[in-house]
Amino acid sequence: MVGDSLSAEYGLRRGSGWVPMLAQRVSQQYPNYRVVNASISGDTTSGGLARLPALLRQHAPAVVVLELGSNDALRGLALDMTERNLRAMAQASRQAGASVLVVGMQIPPNYGRDYTQRFAQVFPAVAEQEKARLVPFLMEGIATNRAMFQADGIHPNEDAQPALLDNVWPVLEPMLAQPAAD
């Protein structure tokens, strides 16, 4: 798992995030696998790309989950760069023998219609181009429910974590059943 604060338990009790819940589910259903959470709060696709080669060497993963891009958008970075970085991470992961899961995000409309739409298109484009699996929107079903967010209105709270896992699991689970790179 290479992600940002959404996967790094930002503002949550340790062990209460969706990735530790995922790790528990994987250990119960697929005991030959372990989940490595290499997520860092505030990370961008550039940071993830810089860290990925060492992570691939260290862990030799069967599956790489890419949950990055939100901080690129929040900083107003060029989306062409975000897409290039995600593609490069997917390519490096596949070259290392891993299957890839891209986790999509969306941003609020206050970034402008064009930027907001283009951002949402980055993830399916990368998944299609790089033969990766796609979770279209990590926060599907909770994004408009303020009760599911911390006081900052950005980060999901503990109550939202099972829903995040439920958004990822139906796409990830078949990859664990057949982990060969696509």
- Listing DSSP states for 80-129 in one string gives HHHHHHHHHHHHHHHHTT-EEEEE-----GGG-HHHHHHHHHHHHHHHHH
Enter the tokens of residue 161.
Answer: 């974590």
| Residue of 72, 114, 155, 159 with catalytic role | 155
Q: Are 53 and 45 in contact (CB under 8 A)?
A: no
| Residue of 4, 5, 7, 43 with catalytic role | 5
For residue 5, indicate whether it is catalytic: yes
For residue 59, indicate whether it is catalytic: no
| Residue of 39, 114, 152, 182 with catalytic role | 152
Question: Which residues, listed in sequence order, are joined to residue 156 by a DSSP beta bridge?
Answer: 149
Catalytic positions: 5, 152, 155
